[in-house]
Amino acid sequence: MGNKKTILSGIQATGNLTLGNYLGAIKNWIKMQDEYDCYYMIADLHSLTVRNDPEVLRKRALQVLAIYVAAGLDPDKNTIFLQSHVDAHVKLNWILNCYTYMGELNRMTQFKDKSAKHADNINSGLFTYPVLMAADILVYNADLVPVGEDQRQHLEITRDIAERFNSIYGETFVIPEAFIGEQGARIMGLQDPTAKMSKSATNLNDVIFLNDNPEDIRKKLKKAVTDSENCVHYDKENKPGVSNLMTIYGLLEEKTMQEIEKEFVGKGYGDFKSAVAEAIVKKLQPLQQKYCELLENPKELKTIYEKGAKKAADRADPIVKDVYQKVGLIVNE
Ligand code: TRP
């Protein structure tokens, strides 16, 4: 630890993780594990803002944990845990609720989108979702929060809440910064390359799931939307489909857009798409194997999340105590 900067991030336990989650988030986290003090959680409490089958939710939470580890996050180097296992999150969440304005939450575009999508269940958890997210971050005094572009507004409100609290009670929280990678942050859908690849997409051909088999991956790539130019060239505006596939290929093969353009000079989309499919298959096969091994070994997963929860609580509990003291609660030592 020493003077390493602290990182916190998380992914919800709703739905199967996608290639977008891997390339946009987890792959970048792995690069950070030596340089930073990293906290990676499974945001299972956030998942409750939509209705779930309880058994499915429990299963999904373990699957996300298994993906983290299978993808290369080392449980000895990082603190990997379930959000619901660290009480400090919900304690701070309540306090921060009392320092967040309805008007601020009303401006959140994700709330508007999600309430349009779940018109039958616009619960107050969905509304205060960003406050729990602020608690997740501030309870570790995280310096940096790697997130996708879609979470930028939630980071802004976290900073506002932290600054507000600090200005009333004195220096308490570190003001966190969003850490948004250049390319990885936004992998788009294969069918609609103008919208983010989403694990809740209704058209399954739009999404590569991390547990898709090679045949499905090849099929989905064949069907991916491109354009009529038949020329592999990066142009996000005019060729969003091809540009997205190039981004995926570039991240997997560590190639620049120029290198990819050169590689496919004189070749058509058919060749290009099958190269992208094979790059995905090559990357996912070892990950899937490790993932299956972990899921068959629940004891190992339990050891990982128990250790993670303890390490997380050791860091978060004193911060909550400090906050309780500052706002005027009697701290029970
Ligand atoms: N809201 C995030 C998402 O859907 C998940 C999340 C919850 C998160 N708590 C967080 C991300 C704290 C970063 C930090 O992607």
Which pLDDT does position 184 carry in this prediction?
Answer: 52
Judgement on whether residues 145 and 14 belong to the same structural domain of the protein: yes
* Ligand 1 atom 6: residue of nearest CA: 10
Tell me whether residue 189 is in a domain: no
CA distance linking residue 15 with residue 3, whole number of Å: 36
Active site residue 196: yes
CB atoms within 10 A of CB 285: 12
- Rounded to the nearest whole angstrom, what is the distance from the C-alpha of residue 195 to the centroid of ligand 1? 19
Which pLDDT does position 200 carry in this prediction?
Answer: 82
269-295 vs 240-253: helix crossing angle, rounded to 10? 50
**Residue 104 DSSP label:** H
Q: Which residues contact 203 (CB under 8 A, 6 or more apart)?
A: 189, 191, 192
- Rounded to the nearest whole angstrom, what is the distance from the C-alpha of residue 156 to the centroid of ligand 1? 13
Judgement on whether residues 98 and 244 belong to the same structural domain of the protein: no
Please state the φ and ψ torsions of residue 279, each to the nearest 5 degrees.
Answer: -65, -40
- Rounded to the nearest whole angstrom, what is the distance from the C-alpha of residue 105 to the centroid of ligand 1? 16
Q: Is the CB of 41 under 6 A from ligand 1?
A: no
Which pLDDT does position 148 carry in this prediction?
Answer: 81
Which pLDDT does position 332 carry in this prediction?
Answer: 84
Q: Which residues contact 1 (CB under 8 A, 6 or more apart)?
A: 37
Q: Radius of gyration of the chain from Cα atoms?
A: 21
pTM of the predicted model as reported, rounded to 2 decimal places: 0.93
Q: Which of 11, 96, 138, 199 to mutate to test the pocket of ligand 1 (most atoms within 8 A of CB)?
A: 11
Q: Is the CB of 12 under 6 A from ligand 1?
A: yes
pLDDT in tens, 241-270: 999 999 999 999 999 999 999 999 999 999
How many structural domains compose the chain?
Answer: 2
Low-confidence ranges of the chain (pLDDT < 50): none
Q: Is the CB of 137 under 6 A from ligand 1?
A: yes
CA distance linking residue 333 with residue 328, whole number of Å: 15
Which pLDDT does position 295 carry in this prediction?
Answer: 96
Domain that holds residue 213: 204-292
Active site residue 114: yes
Tell me whether residue 333 is in a domain: no
Structure tokens at 35: 């340089």
Tell me whether residue 45 is in a domain: yes
Pairing of strands 6-12, 37-43: parallel
Active site residue 199: yes
Judgement on whether residues 169 and 271 belong to the same structural domain of the protein: no
The strands making up 6-12's β-sheet, listed across from edge to edge, are: 79-82, 37-43, 6-12, 144-146, 177-179
Q: What ligand 1 atom has the least distance to the C-alpha of 133?
A: 9
Domain with 176 in it: what CATH number?
Answer: 3.40.50.620
Judgement on whether residues 47 and 138 belong to the same structural domain of the protein: yes
Domain with 280 in it: what CATH number?
Answer: 1.10.240.10
Tell me whether residue 193 is in a domain: no
Tell me whether residue 195 is in a domain: no
Which pLDDT does position 15 carry in this prediction?
Answer: 76
Tell me whether residue 1 is in a domain: no
Q: Which residues contact 18 (CB under 8 A, 6 or more apart)?
A: 187, 197, 198, 199, 207, 208, 209, 210
